[in-house]
Amino acid sequence: MITVLLAIFIPFIAACLVPFVHKFLTGRKIGWFVIIVPLLLFVLLLRLVPSLSHGATYTYSLPWIPSADVYFSTYLDGLSMIFALLITGIGSLVVFYSIFYLSEREAIGRFYTYLLLFMGAMLGVVLSDNLIVLYVFWELTSISSFLLIAFWFHRKQSRYGAKKSMLITVTGGIFMLAGFLMLYTMTGTFSLRELIGMRDIIAADSLFIPAMLLVLLGAFTKSAQFPFHIWLPDAMEAPTPVSAYLHSATMVKAGIYLVARFTPVFAGHAVWFYIVSCVGLLTMLWGSVNAVKQTDLKALLAFSTVSQLGMIMSLLGVGSLAFASSESSHVALFTAATFAALFHLVNHSTFKGSLFMVVGILDHQLGTRNIRRLGGLATIMPITFTIALIGSFSMAGLPPFNGFLSKELFFEAMLSLKNANLLTMDSLALLFPIVAWVGSVFTFIYCMVIVFQSFLGKVPEPFPGQRPAHEAPIQMLVAPIVLGSLVLLIFFFPNILGTYILGPAMLAVYPHLGNMEGLVPEIYVWHGWKAPVFMTLGVIIAGTLLYRYLRYWKGVYRLGVLQWTLDRFYNGTLLRMERVATRVTRGYMTGSVRDYVAYIMLIFIAFIGIGLAGFQQFVFDFSNDASIEMNEGVIVFVMMCSSVAVLFARSRITAIILNGVLGYSIAILFVVFRAPDLALTQIIVETVTTVLFLLCFYFLPEWRAEHRAVSMRWRNGLIAAASGVIVTVVALLVQGHSLYPTISIYYETASRIAGGLNVVNTILGDFRAFDTMLEVLVLFIAGLGVFSLVKLRRKKGVDRPEEK
């Protein structure tokens, strides 16, 4: 279906148009043009929901690199639909919010260009069927998010956060690509749909575990799983609309999508279950514990995002056990875990998006996000407080908010592990719900911090530069109000979401079950007095007590062990790598072109020499060679003598003359071989080169150091001789090993078709014209770059970058 293909390309087309449209729609007006894109795509995708709920899927394919089995294939099913709706739906609200959030002095056109690039890349990730195409869009999300995070590039922390996020996510993406290539080696296809059908073949291959680990590495880095979560808090230096979009609804969910998509390929194996579920739970616990100690609201939300992503990831791990279970009752329990993951995925996007927008409103209205400078805002900003209350209590898992429903399913999934055949020890099965409960307690604590320390209590003393507190304009409140309303609507009508949106996605994760029957459990607000309810009551009681006495025990965060962070390890590692790189660079960057040429030739000798040594088939065929005439031998002998003499020349003039002798001898050799056009070209080039050498060397200092360095001339001579020997050996070996038909046959045939009588002239006039055209294009692009740098002027009102 071409609609799916257009859904990917429309944002890219719009991104190209923004710089031109911005000339007519200046300032914030450009936002009204941009908002059409996600809103239109959201409506188009929403129209396909009824058919998807009945099991339909939509595919489209275009050839890209057919010889490498790379096709631009799209695939829309229930799983990709969830993410596509989040990308376009939340994207529409974020664009609307940003219209009133961003200042007129900002580079708004550039902001929306980056945002549309990111939107298109994310849609490409979730709608691609070909692994290579998916990887291209995967890395494009890293690049576009880098541009968005560094939007305020004059801030040092923005640049640091952008580089950090790109370094970690791109590195993980490269490992993921290696996993994709392993899957192709095992199956001979890059198609995701075909990979799912070859599940048994993949599981029996020796590359199964390495491919699984590499794919998970890419997913964990993108979704900020422990220990790769460190990029997410620093990415909060981006403008709040970026944080609300990238880090609550889209980019960080890409890793979740990848794990869910590859569950039918790798699930059922104990390694997949243990890694996904344990890393997820550890991330949830680590993120929630670290969120409590934050004093910046965006930093708190960043760690809460890490925690919530870990929770979703752990549920996907538990859900994978359905592939290893044979009893229908156990299968139902474990598929319910995946349902809970997808349910919380949607819930998290609603309440976290609203919370990020609330924090942006506080920063916009008051000029601070510091919790210690906030308080007593509930009566001054009642609408903002209400939205924050809904979002925070939903994240804490309290009724009547949608987070309560998915949190109950989360506890139920953790408790269901006692039925897993992989967990033979009762203590290990008990560890999962305990960790989940502890993480939920800390989640409750930081949610209470958001509500009570930011909006209730006493109004703190005003700080220098504080703006007078007042409610935000209604335009800025529309987007968070919509998300907050969805939090309540999903709580009261959860089964509509389950039937039409989550059900088709469940079928995509469990295609072997054949239909959605039994995959979509009925969601009840009240399940009775069961274990999940008692766990929730325990969270509320323990969380309330710990929050009440937070000031007494928060000092534990200052202990030596808890002061150590992975950020220190990351920064220390980069610093050590930089120092080593500096020492190595200073060692070989001598400033001498002669040394650089020597390095190139040594590398050439080493690699080609090793390759020849491994070839071990030195067969020289001289049977078809022409005889060497006396005049040809004399010319070659003169060339050899002049080449050797250059090494021992005592003046530059002598070296230039000897180099000229070599060049003109080559021209004479061309004449002997009846190639007058080449001889004429060689004579002209050699003449111009010799004249330029003489002009340049005239102004250089006297040639003294080189005269004394006899050992250096011997070294250069040995390098030159070795290079010559290798080139000669390769040229001679080529005659005896014809692996492919000679390309001259193609050029001879094509020249006749082109109407050329002289093959050489036809090659230069027709075939090489494409090469020349590309060279001109490269020069044109370089010229544009130079022109842009020359014309670049810093805009008024923008601070200079902090350089340290």
Count other C-beta atoms under 10 Å from residue 712's C-beta: 15
Average pLDDT over residues 731-736: 76
How many whole angstroms separate alpha carbon 189 and alpha carbon 65?
13
Q: What percent of the chain has pLDDT over 70?
A: 93
Phi, psi of 462, rounded to the nearest 5 degrees = -65, 145
Question: Is 48:153 a contact under the CB 8 Å cutoff?
Answer: no
Kind and range of the H or E element at 340? helix 328-366
Residue 149 in this model has a pLDDT that exceeds 90:
yes
pLDDT per residue as tens digits for the range 346-401: 999 999 999 999 999 998 888 888 888 888 888 889 999 999 999 999 999 999 99
* Residue 176 identity (one-letter amino acid): M
pLDDT tens by residue, 159-204 = 999 999 999 999 999 999 999 999 999 999 999 999 998 999 999 9
Q: How far apart are CA 493 and CA 490, in angstroms?
A: 5
Res 776 pLDDT > 90: no
Please say if the pLDDT value at position 792 is more than 80.
no
In residues, how long is the chain? 804
Which residues sit opposite 296 in a β-bridge? 370
d(CA 513, CA 142): 35
User: In this predicted model, which residue has the larger pLDDT, 359 or 733?
Assistant: 359
**Region 77-104: what's the mean pLDDT?**
93
How is residue 25 written in tokens?
Answer: 């729609």
Instruction: Give the pLDDT confidence of 197-212 residue by residue, as tens digits.
Output: 899 999 999 999 999 9
Answer yes or no: is pLDDT of 338 > 90: yes
> What's the pLDDT score for residue 370?
87
Nearest by Cα to 254 from 297, 294, 312:
312
Q: Which helix (H) or strand (E) holds 769?
A: helix 768-791
Nearest to 281 by CA among 80, 428, 482, 86: 428
Confidence of residue 616 (pLDDT cuts 50, 70, 90): low
Tell me what pLDDT residue 543 has: 95
Q: What is the 3-state secondary structure (H, E, C) of 506-554?
A: HHHHCHHHCCCCCCCCCCCCCCCCCHHHHHHHHHHHHHHHHHHCHHHHH
Q: Give the Cα separation of 155 and 368 in Å (integer).
A: 16
More confident of the two residues 176 and 741: 176
Distance between CA 339 and CA 518 in Å, rounded? 11
Q: What is the pLDDT of residue 703?
A: 60
Q: Is the pLDDT of residue 706 over 60?
A: no
At a CB cut-off of 8 Å and minimum separation 6, what does 349 contact?
A: 86, 90, 248, 249, 253
Banded pLDDT at 83 (limits 50, 70, 90): very high
Angle at 115 between CA 368 and CA 70, to 5 degrees: 145
Q: What is the mean pLDDT of residues 12-35?
A: 90
Better-predicted residue by pLDDT, 621 or 548:
548
Q: Which residue has the higher pLDDT, 311 or 776?
A: 311
For 233-247, what is each residue's pLDDT tens digit? Answer: 998 888 999 989 987
Residue 589 has pLDDT above 70, yes or no: yes
pLDDT of residue 802: 42
Read off the pLDDT band of 652 (50, 70, 90).
confident
Question: What integer pLDDT is reported at residue 797 of this predicted model?
Answer: 43
- Find where tokens 């050699």 sit: 686
465 band by pLDDT with thresholds 50, 70 and 90: low
628 burial via Cβ count (<10 Å: 0-12, 13-18, 19+): exposed
Confidence at residue 131, expressed as pLDDT on a 0 to 100 scale: 95
User: How much is the pLDDT for 795?
Assistant: 47
Show Cβ contacts of residue 615 under 8 Å, excluding neighbours closer than 6 positions. 733
Average pLDDT along the chain: 87
ω into residue 66 within 30 of 0, thus cis?
Answer: no
pLDDT at 739: 67
Is the pLDDT score of 764 beyond 80? no
Q: Answer yes or no: is pLDDT of 798 > 60.
A: no
Q: Is the pLDDT of residue 55 over 70?
A: yes
Give the separation between CA 691 and CA 682, rounded to whole angstroms: 14
Provide the 8-state DSSP code for 60. E
Residue type, 721: A
Nearest to 317 by CA among 195, 397, 204, 223: 223
| pLDDT (tens digit per residue) in 273-320 | 999 999 999 999 999 999 999 989 999 999 999 999 999 999 999 999
Report the Cα 98 to chain-centroid distance in Å: 24
CA distance readout (Å), 793 to 214, 785, 787, 790, 798 = 44, 14, 12, 8, 11
